Structure 1
């Protein structure tokens, strides 16, 4: 009987403790959409840093400050909001779902732009080849035979 009561009590404590939030909701919590927008930009910035970090350092760009100004927030508000959402995996997963969708959409647009640019370059190359073949077939553009001097001629 004692173990039965202790088991129920332990289960009750477990249920109550799981309901309590690990990180309290901050008063200035950023919305899911705002967090997604910031995290999207952070992902792009990290990608840029991975490509050419030295160039960013040379131009003295402070991208963190730029991002906070762009999203009208500060580092403390972002940190508190990020901590809150990170402590709630379901909400954080939703936010990253938004970020992933935006990245996928952007990747598709960039891929289409690169494809269009490659088609443009290919058509330029094809036009140059056609132009060269027309020049080669032109009777006026044919090479004239070269004359060689004979030793006695001056």
Structure 2
């Protein structure tokens, strides 16, 4: 009998210790959507710091843009972010997903930039300067 009571007390203790630090908000943003939001925010913040005039020209605030795009408000985002951040391991996995997407995006962007650079280089044959047109005749320099 004592063993059963001890076992039940131990199980009860372990179950009661698993208490959520942060309560689940009413309008919780789904995890996949939250990852998309944080990905978009990181892209927009990078643009803001790399080329601030691009967003200023069009008067775009990254956070306001995200709120409109995903039809959420700042409070809903903040509460959802705190909720997901309360579980460190899960939050870390979310950031790993974002990092993978950013790395994949960076690779494709780098390849497009390199391709564009290759197309821009003029090719001169036999080290001759381009021909110039003088009147009706063409002369090589």
TM-score normalized with structure 2 length:
0.75
Gaps of 5+ in 2: 1-8, 132-137
What number of residue pairs does the alignment pair up? 125
Indicate conservation of the 8 Å contact 2:25/2:80, yes or no. Answer: yes
CA-atom RMSD in angstroms: 2.6
Q: How far does residue 101 in structure 1 lie from its aligned partner after superposition?
A: 1.6
- Higher relative contact order (Cα pairs below 8 Å, separated by 6+ residues): 1
Q: Distance in 2 between matches of 1:135 and 1:78?
A: 60
Q: Secondary structure at the match of 2:72?
A: coil
Structure that is richer in helix per residue = 1
Greater Rg over alpha carbons, structure:
1
Residues 86 and 131 of structure 1, relative CA distance in 2, 3 Å threshold: same
Cα separation, partners in 2 of 1:55 and 1:134, compared to 1, 3 Å: closer
Structure 1: 4+ residue segments shifted above 4 A = 15-18
- TM-score, normalised with respect to structure 1: 0.69
What residue is the counterpart of 1:47 in the other structure? 46
Q: Which residue of structure 2 lines up, in the alignment, with residue 141 of structure 1? A: 139
How do residues 1-154 of structure 1 correspond to structure 2 at under 5 angstroms?
15=14, 18-122=17-121, 125-126=122-123, 129-130=124-125, 133=128, 141=139
Greater per-residue strand proportion: 2
